[in-house]
Structure 1
Amino acid sequence: MKEKDLSEIRKIAYGLWEQEGRPDGQDRRHWDTAKEIWAFRHSGEDAPQSQQREPGEAKGLPGHAKAAQKPGRGGQSLRSGR
């Protein structure tokens, strides 16, 4: 996986961690969920319009993951390092 992709997954995982109130011991779950979100975001790039899913229609993503799929959600705070 490219460093750019890993960096994007890290930002998603960090956003999930912040949304949940920064809980301890949840890093693996946040990382796995972030990878699913990243894969979902990139899965429809080459798919025909009829096969693309709406955000939140991915297989069983939890509510916080659906919110993290929305463009601009938490992105500014992630870039500022807060």
Structure 2
Amino acid sequence: MSPSGDKIFVTNYDRDKVITLARDGTVLCTFTDPDLKLPSGIHVTALGKVLVCGGSSNTILQLDGERKKKLATLATRSDGLNKPQ
């Protein structure tokens, strides 16, 4: 959930997506990226940044919770990741 409580972030494991929902369940947007495969774990920081783990891509991405874009790839397999959750 976003810090303001107005958005819910969920992963769609099978479709390699992060979905942003309004509190009433309305889909606000979806995020996909070639560096995100089989997303599982997700966390929202106090500043609204979304951290998501790609289990198959062995990545942790930082997303902008407002504009739905990738800000950074924080870690990869070369950093020692193996199926992060």
* TM-score category, normalised to shorter length: under 0.3
What TM-score do you get using the length of structure 2 for normalisation?
Answer: 0.23
Structure having greater relative contact order (Cα 8 Å, sep ≥ 6): 1
- The structure where helix makes up a greater share of residues is 1
- The structure where strand makes up a greater share of residues is 2
Which structure has the larger Rg over C-alpha atoms? 1
What TM-score do you get using the length of structure 1 for normalisation?
Answer: 0.24
